[in-house]
Amino acid sequence: MKIGVLGAGTWGMALARMLANDDHQVEVWSAIKEEIDELSSSRKHKNLPGMVIPDAIVFTKDIEEVCRNKDILLFAVPSVYVRNTVKSAAPYIPDGQIIVDVAKGIEASTLFTMSQVIEDVLSDEAHKNVKVVALSGPTHAEEVARDLPTTIVSASKDEESAKLVQDIFMNTCMRVYTNDDVLGIELCGALKNIIALAAGISTGLGYGDNAKAAIITRGMVEMTRLGLKMGAKQTTFAGLAGIGDLIVTATSMHSRNNRCGMLIGQGVKPMEAVKQVGMVVEGVNALPAAMRLIEKYEVEMPITAMVNAIVEEKIDPKSAVNALMQRDKKNEMNF
């Protein structure tokens, strides 16, 4: 297959390497020209130490070039850049194109998931047959770049497109499942980053495994509550893109959100913590949209709300924990 990758961050490059090693023709584009020069010449990625970029991968600074004559276009830019990237690529995206999105987030201004953003930009007559697939799951780039066993979900309203992406991405190291609950898959991908921030804050405060387990479990309840109100399937939240991705994001040191939360818990100012992580922290980006969704759908999400208050510096982390612990008594099964 001929595959164009838009975005040369850790996840985009880990997937590009994997696909190239499976004998697909891979071309990579980035809006950052210096990044393309560095990757092309060094064949290494600074945030993926030990990974060698195959010689077969072609790099380009021309967005038209990366879109031209491709079986698959893989959008791997941070969620806040998805709309502008699709706008730039739109003139060169043919009708019927299969687009795979791996960004995880919710657009604050529209409350659209990333596939909805792509569909919104490509809603004109010239792109009426474009198919969008969301690819999401517990998949740290650092491990995929080392060919460690990984599972992921290919979700699309078009079953054949989901299955095609399953066939292309599945190999001895990557097992791919399909799912038709695109909304649920994408909500999981965005919201779990916020809960991972909470788990990191807990660790930074010096709390133990009991607290982290509680945050993961009750965080999943919050995610499921909102998902059900929005029309997603409850089973999706119990799957790889739900509890699977939440576990890995809330517990691993590969997780930017977990690391950022730890720094905040240790007393670092939230925006300074983001700077120290040195890469995009999607949980922080997702908070404005999450708070609007809480209000719109009238859903109780206390952990999410407290993380937002901490990031906005309206409450300190320890006081936030005390407030959560002293909330009114509840039945655990009240979804």
Grouping H, G, I as helix, E, B as strand and the rest as coil, residue 245 is: helix
Among residues 134, 149, 100, 107, which one has the least CA distance to residue 241? 134
The rounded percent of the chain whose pLDDT value lies above 90 is: 98
pLDDT of 335 above 80: no
Same domain, 105 and 156: yes
Same domain, 12 and 102: yes
Residue that finishes a domain, picked among 134, 151, 180:
180
Same domain, 58 and 79: yes
Question: Does some domain include residue 331?
Answer: no
Question: Does some domain include residue 335?
Answer: no
Domain count, the chain: 2
Question: Does some domain include residue 334?
Answer: no
Question: Does some domain include residue 330?
Answer: no
Alpha-helical (H) ranges within the chain are 10-21, 33-42, 63-67, 82-89, 114-121, 141-144, 159-169, 182-204, 209-230, 234-237, 245-251, 256-265, 270-277, 282-297, 302-311, 317-325
Residue that finishes a domain, picked among 180, 211, 232:
180
Same domain, 193 and 154: no
Alpha carbons within 13 A on the beta-carbon side of 202: 24
**pTM metric for this prediction:** 0.95
Question: Does some domain include residue 333?
Answer: no
Same domain, 70 and 125: yes
Task: Give the catalytic positions in this structure.
Answer: 192
pLDDT band at 334 (very low <50, low <70, confident <90, very high): confident
Same domain, 119 and 224: no
Boundaries of domain holding 239: 183-325
Same domain, 146 and 223: no
pLDDT tens figures, 269-309: 999 999 999 988 999 999 999 999 999 999 999 999 999 99
Which CATH number do you get for residue 160? 3.40.50.720
Grouping H, G, I as helix, E, B as strand and the rest as coil, residue 171 is: coil
pLDDT, position 316: 97
Which CATH number do you get for residue 305? 1.10.1040.10
Same domain, 270 and 318: yes
pLDDT tens figures, 72-131: 999 999 999 999 999 999 999 999 999 999 999 999 999 999 999 999 999 999 999 999
Q: How far is CA 2 from CA 29, 40, 57, 85, 122, in A?
A: 14, 19, 11, 20, 21
Same domain, 303 and 321: yes
Same domain, 59 and 10: yes
Question: 100: which strand partners?
Answer: 74, 133
Same domain, 7 and 56: yes
Same domain, 11 and 145: yes
pLDDT tens figures, 220-244: 999 999 999 999 999 999 999 999 9
